Amino acid sequence: MPNDHYRILCTRPIPASLIADAAGHGIDIQVKEFIRISPINIPELQQHAFQPNTPMVFTSAHAVNILREMIGTPEVRNNICCISGNTRTAAEQAFPQSPVIAAAPYGIELAQAIIRRGDIKAVNFFCGNIHRKELPDTLTSAGIRVNEFVIYRNDPMPEKVTGHYNGIFFFSPSAVSSYFSANSIPADTVCFAIGATTAAALKEATNNKIIISTDVDANSMVQTSISYFNNNNS
């Protein structure tokens, strides 16, 4: 392993265990949030959002965790369709009596998996005020009713960053937009993207090198950076 130490800016909180793991490989991860997540109260949510035989759909762990906080101790038994990685893990922990019946890395693929089942007529989609439209549009086009519940706000928190970083972790297009609204980056800084959608946003914002994590979760982001800096970076 090289003796060099690398600095990475992480644009959202990640588990302390992952930061410690990276430190053990000579990588210093510093966290600075560029997005504020705020719950939106929906009166009578529990009455309207859990119809029998209507799966819950999640494309972010934020939606899972906020819904869980809103409804208290869950007795929900609706099936779940969700993005894989962090979102699926959060869903399985938050709603242990609700089986995951469809999962995929991206929204369009998740919509296709829901359609392929052939037995879903409607879904309850829990989301933020900023979300991509591929999933609801694809389901609607296939004749599946999408009941959309916007349960949180996703607000930018741009901040000027000082100091040099060898890499920056981005977990969403919103974070990309927030970061670059106040900052530019040196040509040698590597951008790490949680998935193809975030990578696409980065391509519009910078010409720097972009590396997509091997999976859509924080652990994969960290492991991808370890591999890059300690094995592939010459």
- Of the pLDDT bands very low, low, confident and very high (cuts 50, 70, 90), residue 52 is confident
> What is the reported pLDDT for 44?
79
pLDDT of residue 99: 95
Per-residue tokens: 210:
């972009």
Residues 64 and 120 in one domain: yes
3-state secondary structure of 60: coil
If DSSP codes are grouped into helix, strand and coil, which group holds residue 42? Answer: coil
Confidence at residue 137, expressed as pLDDT on a 0 to 100 scale: 97
Q: Is residue 225 part of a domain?
A: yes
Beta-ladder partners of 37: 154
Within a domain: residue 41? no
Question: How many structural domains is the chain composed of?
Answer: 2
Query: Residue 220: which CATH number?
Result: 3.40.50.10090
Closest by Cα among 154, 164, 133 to 28: 164
Q: Would you say residue 71 lies in a domain?
A: yes
Provide the residue range defining the domain that includes 112. Answer: 47-154
Are 191 and 147 contained in the same domain? no
Considering the domain architecture, whether residues 21 and 58 belong to the same structural domain is answered as no
* pLDDT computed for residue 134 by the predictor: 94
* H-only helix segments in the chain: 16-23, 45-48, 61-71, 86-94, 107-117, 134-141, 173-180, 196-205, 218-227
Q: Tell me the residue type at 226.
A: I
Q: Are residues 77 and 102 in the same domain?
A: yes
The pLDDT value given to residue 4: 61
How does pLDDT run across 59-110, given as a tens digit for each residue?
999 999 999 999 876 678 899 999 998 899 999 999 999 999 999 999 999 9
User: For 139-187, what is each residue's pLDDT tens digit?
Assistant: 999 999 999 999 999 999 999 999 999 999 999 999 999 999 999 999 9
For residues 67 and 74, what is the distance between their CA atoms, to the nearest angstrom? 10
In angstroms, rounded to a whole number, what is the distance separating the alpha carbons of residues 142 and 148?
Answer: 16
What pLDDT is stored for residue 201 in this prediction?
95
Pair (177, 114) in one structural domain: no
Which percentage of the chain shows pLDDT scores above 70? Answer: 96
What integer pLDDT is reported at residue 74 of this predicted model? 65
Across the chain, which distance is largest between two alpha carbons, in Å?
58
Claim to verify: residue 149 and residue 59 sit in the same structural domain? yes
The answer to the question of residue 198 being in a domain is: yes
Domain boundary among 132, 154, 176: 154
Domain co-membership, 101 together with 120: yes
Q: Answer left, alpha or beta for residue 43, where phi above 0 means left and psi between -120 and 50 means alpha.
A: beta
For residues 13 and 62, membership in a common domain is answered with: no
Contact 155, 38 (CB under 8 A): yes
Average pLDDT for the chain = 92
